[in-house]
C-alpha cells in the first residue's frame, strides 16, 4: 500500500522534473542598492517570523512584496517583533551565547530604526527570557510605547521591564505561578495563572512594580485550561479554552474582572467533534467586533492540530456569522522552488492533487478594510483573505521555511 507521504514525495519529484524553467539570459544584477521603508506604516503589513532561518520578514499584504527583514537572534523560537509607531523603532528580544549554542548567556532588547532597519541600540536583560514553540505572549509593548515587558522562566516566572525611552532595564518583577504578557495600558499588563486566576501587574511611572491585583478563579486549569493565544480590544482580552469556551477579562480596573464565558460551538457542532486548534488560533477585529477562530474535527488532545476552516463570530451577539474555507497553500509554497507559476495550470493541479494541510495561525489587520492572514507551520507561504467576506485575494510566496507566528505591526 502506498502511504500519503510516499505519494506526496513522488508527486513532488515529478513536478520538479516537469516544471524546470527554460534557460534564459538574465540581466546583470545591480549591487550596492539600499532601500528604506516609508515612515508611514501601512495597516496591511505583516511580519512572518521563521524559526529555522531565525529572522522575521516584513511583507505588504496588498502586493505580496517583501519589504525587509530583521534578525531574531540564534534562538530557535522567534519572539514577536514589536513596532513603535510613536518612536519609529522596532524591538526584538534576542538570546545569545558566548560559544554559539552554549557558554555564557545574555539577553537583550535589540532596537532597530524602523525605516532603515539598522540596529541603533540595545538594552541588556536578565539572562532568562522565556522561549516557546509559538512565541505568543512572551513579549509585549505597553501603551505609550515606553515600556517593553519580557516574560522570564528560570524555572520561576518573572517579567523584565525595559524602558526603551531611557534605554535601561527598569525592573524585574517576580510573578510566581503566572505567565504571559498581555498589555492593558501604559503601566499595566495582565498574566494568566496556573490556579485558574489572572493578575494585573501595575507599574510605577518609572517602570518599577507598584502592585499586583488578582482576580477570582474563572477557569479550571485541569479539566478545561485556557490557552495563552489571547486577543485584545483596549483593556479587554479574550481567551479560548481547550473545549472552545470564550472567556472575557476586563483589565480596566485595579483587579482584573473575568466575565461569564460562552461556547463557540453549539451542541450539534460538539457532537460533530468540532474543536479549536492550531498555534495562533484566534484573531480579533475591534472595528467590526468579529472573532476569527481556526477549527477542526478532532478529539481531546488535538488542540495543536491545524484546521481546514476559519469560523467567524460576532462577539456582542455571541453567534457564529460566517465560515471561511482556506485555499490550499501547497502551490504557493512549491511553485517558486519547482519553477512553476502557483496561479497557473500546474499550480491548480498541485493544489488539486496534494492535500490541503490546513491552518495553524491567523492574524487580522486593524483597519476599516481588514485583511486576514493565515499560514501552516510547515509551509513557507501565507494566504491573504478579505476579512469581511472570506474572498481569497492572493498568496505571499517564499515567506520562509517554517513557523507559526504572524504579527501585524
Write out pLDDT tens, residues 244-271: 999 999 999 999 999 999 999 999 999 9
Query: Treating both helix axes as pointing N-terminal to C-terminal, what angle do 330-338 and 345-353 enclose, rounded to 10 degrees?
Result: 130
pLDDT of residue 107: 94
Average confidence (pLDDT) over 224-244:
96
User: C-alpha grid cell for residue 118?
Assistant: 539598522
The residue behind cell 538570546 is: 95
Decide if pLDDT at 76 tops 90. Answer: no
Alpha-carbon dihedral 96, 99, 104, 110, rounded to 10 degrees:
-20
Instruction: Write out pLDDT tens, residues 132-153.
Output: 878 899 999 999 999 999 999 9
Buried b (16+ CB within 10 A) or exposed e, 205-235: eebebeeebebeebbeeeeebbbbbbbbeeb
C-alpha cell at 140: 509585549
The answer to whether residue 8 scores a pLDDT higher than 60 is no
Report residue 102: phi and psi, to 5°. -150, 180
252, 176, 264: which is closest to 224 by C-alpha?
A: 264
Computed over every residue of the chain, the mean pLDDT equals 91
With contact defined as beta carbons under 8 Å apart, do 248 and 259 qualify?
A: yes
* pLDDT at position 236: 97
Phi, psi of 210 (to 5 degrees): -95, -65
Please report how many Cα atoms fall inside a 13 Å half-sphere around the Cα of residue 173, on the Cβ side: 30
Q: Beta strands of 86-177 (E only): which ranges?
A: 89-97, 105-113, 119-125, 139-141, 147-153, 157-163, 168-174
- 3-class secondary-structure state, position 67: strand
Show the cell assigned to 146: 515606553
Residue 96 and residue 74 in contact, taking contact as beta carbons nearer than 8 Å:
yes
Mean pLDDT of 360-379: 96
CB atoms within 10 A of CB 321: 12
State the pLDDT confidence band at 51, using cuts at 50, 70 and 90.
Answer: confident
Give me the percent of the chain exceeding a pLDDT of 90.
77
How much is the pLDDT for 323?
Answer: 98
Q: Smallest Cα–Cα separation from 182: which of 198, 195, 166, 203?
A: 198
- The 8-class DSSP code of residue 22 comes to P
Q: Tell me if 179 sits within 8 A of 151, measured CB to CB.
A: yes
Q: In 10 A of CB 326, how many CB atoms?
A: 24
In whole angstroms, what is the distance from residue 12 CA to residue 331 CA?
11
- In this prediction, residue 264 carries a pLDDT of 98
- How far apart CA 165 and CA 188 sit, in angstroms, is 17
**CA distance from start to end of the chain:** 48
Using one digit for the tens of pLDDT, what is the confidence trace for 268-292?
999 999 999 999 999 999 999 999 9
Residue 25 has pLDDT above 70, yes or no: no
What distance in Å separates the CA atoms of residue 177 and residue 158, rounded to the nearest whole number? 9
Amino acid at each position: 500500500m502506498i502511504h500519503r507521504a510516499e505519494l506526496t514525495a513522488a508527486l513532488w519529484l515529478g513536478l520538479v522534473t516537469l516544471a524546470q524553467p527554460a534557460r534564459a539570459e538574465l540581466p546583470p544584477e545591480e549591487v550596492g542598492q539600499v532601500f528604506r521603508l516609508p515612515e508611514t506604516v501601512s495597516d496591511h503589513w505583516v511580519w512572518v517570523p521563521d524559526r529555522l532561518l531565525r529572522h522575521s520578514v516584513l511583507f505588504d499584504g496588498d502586493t505580496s512584496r517583501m519589504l525587509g527583514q530583521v534578525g531574531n537572534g540564534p534562538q530557535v523560537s522567534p519572539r514577536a517583533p514589536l513596532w513603535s509607531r510613536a518612536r519609529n523603532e522596532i524591538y526584538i528580544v534576542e538570546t545569545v551565547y558566548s560559544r554559539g549554542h552554549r557558554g555564557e548567556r545574555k539577553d537583550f532588547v535589540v532596537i532597530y530604526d524602523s525605516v532603515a532597519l539598522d540596529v541603533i541600540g540595545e538594552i541588556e536583560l536578565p539572562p532568562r527570557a522565556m522561549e516557546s514553540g509559538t512565541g505568543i505572549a512572551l513579549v509585549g509593548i505597553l501603551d505609550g510605547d515606553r515600556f517593553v515587558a519580557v516574560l522570564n522562566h528560570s524555572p520561576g516566572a518573572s517579567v523584565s521591564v525595559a524602558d526603551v525611552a531611557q534605554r535601561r532595564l527598569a525592573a524585574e518583577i517576580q510573578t510566581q505561578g503566572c505567565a504571559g504578557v498581555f498589555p492593558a495600558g501604559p503601566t499595566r499588563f495582565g498574566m494568566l495563572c496556573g490556579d485558574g486566576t489572572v493578575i494585573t501587574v501595575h507599574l510605577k511611572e518609572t517602570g518599577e512594580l507598584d502592585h499586583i491585583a488578582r482576580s477570582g478563579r474563572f477557569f479550571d486549569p485541569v479539566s478545561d485550561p485556557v490557552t495563552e493565544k489571547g486577543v485584545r480590544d483596549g483593556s479587554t482580552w479574550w481567551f479560548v479554552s481547550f473545549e472552545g469556551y470564550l472567556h472575557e477579562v476586563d483589565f480596566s480596573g485595579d483587579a482584573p474582572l473575568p466575565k461569564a464565558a460562552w461556547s463557540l460551538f453549539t451542541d450539534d457542532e460538539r457532537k460533530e467533534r468540532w474543536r479549536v486548534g492550531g498555534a495562533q488560533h484566534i484573531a480579533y477585529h475591534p472595528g467590526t467586533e468579529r472573532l476569527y477562530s481556526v477549527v477542526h474535527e478532532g478529539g481531546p488532545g488535538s488542540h495543536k492540530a491545524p484546521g481546514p476552516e476559519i469560523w467567524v463570530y460576532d462577539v456582542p451577539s455571541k453567534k457564529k456569522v460566517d465560515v471561511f474555507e482556506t485555499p490550499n497553500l501547497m502551490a504557493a509554497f512549491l511553485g517558486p522552488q519547482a519553477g512553476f507559476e502557483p496561479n497557473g495550470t500546474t499550480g491548480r493541479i498541485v493544489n488539486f492533487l496534494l492535500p490541503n494541510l490546513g491552518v495553524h495561525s491567523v492574524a487580522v489587520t486593524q483597519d476599516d478594510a481588514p485583511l486576514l492572514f493565515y499560514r501552516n507551520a510547515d509551509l513557507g507561504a501565507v494566504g491573504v483573505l478579505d476579512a469581511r467576506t472570506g474572498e481569497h485575494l492572493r498568496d505571499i510566496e517564499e515567506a520562509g521555511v517554517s513557523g507559526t507566528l504572524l504579527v501585524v505591526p
